[in-house]
Amino acid sequence: MVSDLVGHGISCQGKDYEIIGVTGGDVYSAGGQSVFDVFDTSAYTFLEVERGGIAGNMIVATYTATGIFKLRSDMVRGDNTETKESNATLHIRPTESFLSNVPANREHYTATLQETNFSDYEVTS
């Protein structure tokens, strides 16, 4: 199911991201344009992650796909400080092989991403 994506990883444009949230895709009417027809797509790799256990943190499977990646950077003002804050989202096609139990009327799913580093994870796939 889609909520099972939270905690797994995405590698896109040379950076690693952890999926921290997923929202359901839009309901669409057959025959119309989808978000994938309107915006440019980017290649990404979905990383199926297992944490902890005897073997430690592992990437147990990888899947390559294309989706709509958006990276936003803003300066946030606080008490006498400015900090750079970035957030990223990825629109995922509901037909990707790493998704299961997807309703037939979904156009996409939006994953909210947080930058992380999976370089210390053992790859078993």
Q: What whole-number distance in Å separates Cα of residue 34 and Cα of residue 63?
A: 22
pTM of the model as a whole: 0.80
Read off the pLDDT of residues 2-29 as tens digits, 9 standing for 90 and up. 668 899 999 999 999 999 988 877 666 6
Q: What whole-number distance in Å separates Cα of residue 76 and Cα of residue 96?
A: 35
Residue 84 confidence (pLDDT): 61
The answer to whether 99 and 4 are in contact (CB under 8 A) is: no
User: What separation in angstroms does the CA of 97 have from each of 2, 21, 46, 105?
Assistant: 12, 19, 10, 17
Read off the pLDDT of residues 54-93 as tens digits, 9 standing for 90 and up. 667 888 899 999 999 998 776 667 777 766 666 889 999 8
Domain carrying residue 63: 2-123
Which residue would you say has higher pLDDT here, 42 or 71? Answer: 42
Residues 31-58, buried b or exposed e (16+ Cβ, 10 A)? Answer: eeeebeeeeeeeebebbbbbeeeeeeeb
Residue 1 confidence (pLDDT): 47
Q: Domain count for the chain, please give it.
A: 1
